[in-house]
Amino acid sequence: MNAYNKLKGLLIERGIKNKDLAELLDVNRTTVNKKLNRTNGNDFSMTEVRKICLYLDISADIYFLNPSRENTTKQRQTT
């Protein structure tokens, strides 16, 4: 599962709308939507990730870590 799909699921679970994240990050709702869907290479900045994690009280490792990068890191540790 894509890390942002987990984040989207959490947002739905907590009743948080893209509009709410947009206000938190001081961007428009369309920008948040593009970042959540990684449209045209859009992604959250580290500052935005920190704000989201603090707001939602979540770990960046679980909701923002690239799963393929995580697997690469695990492979390096076992070799």
Q: Give how far Cα 47 sits from Cα of 5, 51, 74, Å.
A: 20, 6, 26
Given pLDDT bands bounded at 50, 70 and 90, which one contains residue 41?
Answer: confident
Q: Give how many domains the chain has, as a whole number.
A: 1
Distance CA(3)–CA(77), nearest Å, equals 22
The CATH number of residue 59's host domain is 1.10.260.40
pLDDT tens profile 6-36 = 999 999 999 999 999 999 999 999 999 999 9
- Output the 3-class SS for the chain: CCHHHHHHHHHHHHCCCHHHHHHHHCCCHHHHHHHHHCHHHCCCCHHHHHHHHHHHCCCHHHHCCCHHHHHHHHHHHHC
Segments forming the whole domain that contains residue 17:
3-78
Assess whether pLDDT exceeds 90 at residue 75.
Answer: no
> Which pTM was predicted?
0.78
